[in-house]
Structure 1
Amino acid sequence: MSSAIAAAGKPSGSASAIVGTSARGYHTLKIDGYWCTKVTPTGEFLQSSQFSVGGRCWRINYYPNGMDSQTAGYISIYLKLDEIATEDVKAMFTIGFAKVPEKRLPWPWACTPVSVFGGEQMRGYRKFIKREDLEKSEYLKDDSFTIRCEIVVVQDICTKEARAPKFVTVPPPQLNQHLGDLLKTGKGADVVFEVGGESIAAHRCVLASRSSVFNVELFGAMKEGNTASVIRIDDMEAQVFKALLYFAYTDSLLETEKEDEEAMYPHLLVAADMYDMERLKLICEEKLCEHIKIDSVPTILALAEKYHCNGLKKACFDFLSCPARRRAVVSTDGFKHLYKSFPSLVMELISMPSPP
């Protein structure tokens, strides 16, 4: 028998794996004005805004006086699938109080196994916490407390064949690095720009492929016959133009000092608009959304209006939806300049309804 097995040679083998995929997310619900919510009758609830996890819509139902007569002395908390599902949705969730960092209190959690949600069904805790226990705890602070709900939605479970061992490792793409080096060295450059007293060499084909404006300027009917001509740019700083070219070559932003970013992005956005580089313009919009503050929002809002940056405008309006912030902004010099330049925009802002 042993000689027969030896003669058969090395046995063949295979492997497989059962793979489960999921999506994870969380939602925090702040109860601000707890004593006011206590007037809500037993069995009635207050809802969070709708939020999405795992491609599904959810809400948190908060019952300040319990969901029925047996839980009238408790707070009840439920997670609700806020959509009509055509198939069962499997999810695991945890609900608890948000941490109080300065005290480092333990974080009580109410945990569940995997639950099945049908259309608009809810799962949760009839006796989440006694009201008197909450009112004595340090989770209730300045008449408010915060609940955090974490959800893991089971998306798919399938069997996959295990991958064979890899004998060859392919490195990541390096085109952007190579083109960046080409810009840095100027090797083979066939056009020179004069910007802010500096000469910057570049490559016509690269720029024309990245910008319709460069394409017309460098290869269109208005192109000068001399391929070594110098193109002068008077309305842009050299550092901004270098950042524009760097993005054209590498599809990424030129690294700058953290303190210089806020000043760079508005100018780079204008340059991107000028040269019809839409992706760069959107990246600048996204970056500027992170720099919206009381003193900067008038300037950013004016920029958004002038260059049709709808997402950035919405971010400014969202920031100013707080009445206290609006009052603070109105008293700034930037707001006065905004009113002079865009009076209709200011009227739109003034007429914006306050949150309930």
Structure 2
Amino acid sequence: MKATLQRVAGTLALFAAIGVANAQAPPSCRLDAEGGSAVATTVRLAMNAYKALGKQLPFDEVIVNPEEIPRAANSLIVYVVTDASIGAVGKDGCIVNRPALISGDEIDLISVRGGCSASAGKIEVRCSSEAVQMFGRQGDRPGLANPALLYVLAHELGHILQRRPGEYAGRVEAIDLNQSQSAKLEALRESCEPGLTKAEEDADSLAVQVLAMLLPDPPYRETLFSPRGSVLWGADQLNLAANSWRKTSLEREFISLPKPHKSFVPTEFPTPLRIVQANAKKFVCEVLTRKSGVINYPGRATSHPSLEVRIQRVAEALRSTAAGLPKTGAQQEYRSVAVLQEQLSDIFTFIYRENGAYLEAVQSEVCTRVNGDDPTDGCSKRKR
């Protein structure tokens, strides 16, 4: 069991990065009409949910893949862009060689790195065609929609509501141990500023509210399962899609996600406070006393909460929604599968919750120590 928890926690402790949209409109030859239609449908559902929540977005129409930028101030512009490697495109930005994505070649500037992103200066969302296909994938179940795409787009709409850029990126921060102790201490203290993550957390909170409102009903209602099981399955779909996209983007961009410091990987759930405190102390001591190498720190990155915390909050919110829904109503011939699915969802929800709680607890202890009178108190090496 301990090894299983470590593997799950290690997987959850990996992070993905989302790029910011380019300033210029992409050429029409790179626009994906089918993906644009899927995004537009999902955005309209999310837009109506925002209205029902009393959140008025600064647009009332959605324009997909326009060849010319509309001048209307009340329009959301959505581009779904086909990604391509530099070696596969011509001077005009169109794809001239196949395959469009070449192994070992960097993707070009028109491509959308990481999924979807909201623009700061205008009401615009750009998505990678590949990401839309992956997050929107529903298999051979006609009439159903994948809640993963809804979550990603609802998050970006949250940024538009905030009038700030969407950079949906929880990531591991590399701390260079060659720096002076004072510089490393300052970096740790800066990571403890709660205001840095507020905008991202607010966007996530809005997205979760949209999910909780829409998942119990079509097109997200999976009749194979009971109403409760359908909502829980929605949470699992989101996580599965995120993992699939992370693997795909890593292969495409040849980036190896760094492993976090072992203090941030729990070995038992729930983790006793004494172990949390010991792990936080070990992390701070190693950062402040070691003089060479790099330590990967998955704390509160410059402006983003961690993926674990996000998954935790989604799972908790959807579990709360599911608790008020009936457990009956699964299709008779699939009843045993539906019951198994609900049980597995409970297990995953527990793991998401406990892993997120552990990360927050360790981060809190790290902040308590680095903001104390003597952060190196109790460290075996106290070199300054």
What TM-score, normalized to structure 1?
0.21
Structure with the bigger RCO (C-alpha within 8 Å, sep 6+) is: 2
Report the TM-score when normalising by structure 2.
0.19
Bigger Rg, structure 1 or 2: 1
- Report the structure, 1 or 2, having the larger strand content: 1
Higher helix share: 2
